[in-house]
């Protein structure tokens, strides 16, 4: 009987500790997202809350796409286009300072993308409500790095985009 009560008491204590740890994780995660979005506002030059990011993995590379949530928000649309055009140029030169600053870490895949910059093509394309950077390569190692980088972005920005290859 004592052992049963002791077991019950320990189980309750464990559940309370788990609930507290889970709540702390949620607080930490929310803080991380808020800080990342604040840095994103500053570095990207547009409000993250007014935009939607998408990252897609393709057989020959992938895409970075940002859209203004309001189709009539020409200010955000133009800021997105300016930022993504800059990103296409910077990445093609092997410069990844912006994602490092936004995420407060070197994104996985970025070092290999820097090293293999000559094997990767970055092309900016305007879209109706924003823009995209199309990333292509024929190099297997560069492709793996691109996919690693894009998966990190999907997870960090919580876009809900597939972590696997997208259909064309």
Backbone region of residue 158 per phi and psi (left: phi > 0; alpha: psi in -120 to 50; beta: other values): left
Query: Whole-model pTM?
Result: 0.79
Which tokens go with 105? 């870490």
Q: What angle do CA 38, 42, 44 make, to 5 degrees?
A: 110
Whether 55 contacts 157, CB under 8 Å? yes
pLDDT at residue number 111:
96
Per-residue pLDDT of the chain (168 residues; tens, 9 = 90+): 666 765 555 565 655 656 565 555 455 667 777 887 787 678 788 888 999 999 999 999 999 999 999 999 999 999 999 999 999 999 999 999 888 778 788 899 999 999 999 999 999 999 999 999 999 999 999 999 999 999 999 999 899 999 898 665
Q: 23: which strand partners?
A: none
Q: In what order do the strands lie in the sheet with 51-58?
A: 51-58, 61-68, 130-137, 120-127
């Amino acid at each position: 009987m004592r052992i049963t009560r002791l077991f019950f008491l320990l189980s309750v204590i464990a559940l309370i500790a788990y609930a507290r740890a889970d709540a702390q994780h949620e607080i930490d995660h929310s803080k991380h997202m808020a800080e990342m979005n604040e840095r994103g506002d500053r570095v990207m030059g547009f409000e993250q809350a007014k935009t939607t990011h998408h990252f897609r993995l393709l057989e020959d590379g992938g895409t970075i796409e940002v859209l203004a949530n309001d189709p009539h928000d020409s200010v955000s649309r133009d800021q997105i286009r300016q930022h993504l055009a800059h990103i296409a140029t910077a990445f093609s030169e092997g410069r990844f300072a912006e994602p490092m600053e936004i995420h407060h870490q070197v994104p996985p895949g970025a070092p290999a993308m820097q090293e293999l910059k000559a094997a990767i093509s970055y092309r900016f394309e305007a879209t109706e409500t924003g823009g995209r950077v199309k990333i292509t390569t024929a190099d297997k190692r560069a492709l793996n790095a691109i996919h690693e980088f894009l998966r990190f972005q999907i997870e960090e920005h919580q876009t809900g985009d597939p972590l696997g290859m997208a259909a064309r």
